[in-house]
Chains A and B, each alone.
Chain A
């Protein structure tokens, strides 16, 4: 099985549910994703939330972000593209989970759920390109 589907969404917290539903519909297409679907949807939603919160600092914008979900060679790849402030990958670290305080858990969740997380710099129309990979 191979597939690749993409969709653009407004950069706004109200888009998060649409993004989750977009991913849920795709992952419901094959039983291979059944046991991990909720986790993958959470990781994607956390990454999208980081775009709204950090790449745009919660500011109103007419920009879109793009989500692309692909499956090939038993590898699920989620690409997120945005035009917010350039991310500095070395500054993006999960907080110590033993430090009990509100906030900062999203990156920790992404790292727990996905097998690979990376930023890619390439000549595209977008500023940031985050790639999340899960192997099946």
Chain B
């Protein structure tokens, strides 16, 4: 997994790339959580994520819940077809913020 962060005002967009599994979830959290804790609204661009397993889904849930706790939000953008399928299998499309 690789990533790129762009910031525009209070919005930080994290462009994730590659496959997100148990092996990289700590790295993903290390990238995303400080942005949420710093008060940013975090947009996760998942266009280039070809694979995500339950560990990756856990990162999305944790990020969503942490942001909500701090009065902010995590928005999922341009979700790839394969990742959307897993989100829907977990019945999270109505819970996570998808734009």
Contacts and interface: CB of A to CB of B under 8 A. Distances in A.
Interface stretch (A38-46, A80-88, A122-130): A38-46
A16 B54 contact: no
Interface in A1-50: 13-14, 16-17, 20, 38-39, 41-42, 45-46, 49
Chain B interface mostly: helix
A102 B58 contact: yes
Interface in B10-45: 19, 21-23
B19 A46 contact: no
A53 interface: yes
B19 A42 contact: no
Interface stretch (A60-68, A71-79, A103-111): A103-111
A42 B53 contact: yes
Nearest to A48: B22
A98 B92 CA distance: 9
A53 B22 contact: yes
A87 to B, nearest CB: 18
Contact of A49 (B21, B51, B61, B92): B21
A109 to B, nearest CB: 6
15 contacts: A16-B53, A38-B82, A42-B51, A42-B53, A45-B21, A45-B53, A49-B21, A49-B53, A97-B90, A103-B54, A105-B58, A106-B53, A109-B53, A109-B86, A109-B90
Interface of B: 19, 21-23, 51, 53-55, 57-59, 61-62, 65, 82, 85-86, 89-92, 95
